[in-house]
């Protein structure tokens, strides 16, 4: 088993670095309350002036956003090549984006819905907080502890 003294501390990221990392990826997990319980939905998003935009359609996610616009979106990335990983969480409120103009039309086109059709509602996440961490990955040989004879007997 690995001693906690050998685990490098996570680097706390400042908001500008969080926004830079969020712009490098486009897929995150949207967490919100649905029927009184937490739920998580994968979404593709785009950074727009220190806010996030994503498309949705009518249904569970859209109804939950209208019922309680408080949410969190988490995005992350892992690079085995460089031995690093990061995770950024944006907490805030959801606003239906009803504005138009060339800039928003460009965002709508860039946010291609995974299901192809029916995702015509543009939602803006207005952040109340943005936090992030960068981690040095532990070598894979240290991710698991070896099986001892007692454990092995229980598995076999």
Q: Is residue 147 a contact partner of residue 25, using CB atoms and an 8 Å limit?
A: no
More confident residue, 132 or 65: 132
Q: Per residue in 30-51, pLDDT tens?
A: 999 988 899 999 998 999 889 9
For the CA atoms of 107, 112, 116, 122, the dihedral, rounded to the nearest 10 degrees, stands at -40
pTM (2 d.p.): 0.76
Q: Phi/psi class of residue 25: alpha, beta or left (left: φ > 0; alpha: ψ in -120 to 50)?
A: beta
Query: Which residues, 6 or more positions from 32, have their beta carbon under 8 angstroms from its beta carbon?
Result: 38, 39, 41, 61, 64, 65, 68, 70, 71, 72, 94
Q: Per residue in 72-113, pLDDT tens?
A: 999 999 987 778 899 999 999 998 887 665 555 555 555 666
For tokens 């992030």, the residue is 132
């Amino acid at each position: 088993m690995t001693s906690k003294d050998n685990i490098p501390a996570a680097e706390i990221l400042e908001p500008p670095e969080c926004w830079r990392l969020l712009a490098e990826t486009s897929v995150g997990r949207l967490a919100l309350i649905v029927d009184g319980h937490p739920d998580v939905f994968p979404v593709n998003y785009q950074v727009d002036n220190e806010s996030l935009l994503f498309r949705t359609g009518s249904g569970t996610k859209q109804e939950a956003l209208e019922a309680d616009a408080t949410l969190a979106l988490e995005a992350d990335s892992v690079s085995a090549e460089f031995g690093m990983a990061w995770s950024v969480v944006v907490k805030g409120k959801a606003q239906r984006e009803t504005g138009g103009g060339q800039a928003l039309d460009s965002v709508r086109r860039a946010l291609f819905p995974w299901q192809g059709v029916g995702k015509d509602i543009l939602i803006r996440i207005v952040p109340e907080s943005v936090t992030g961490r960068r981690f040095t990955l532990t070598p894979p040989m240290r991710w698991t502890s070896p099986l001892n004879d007692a454990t092995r007997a229980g598995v076999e």
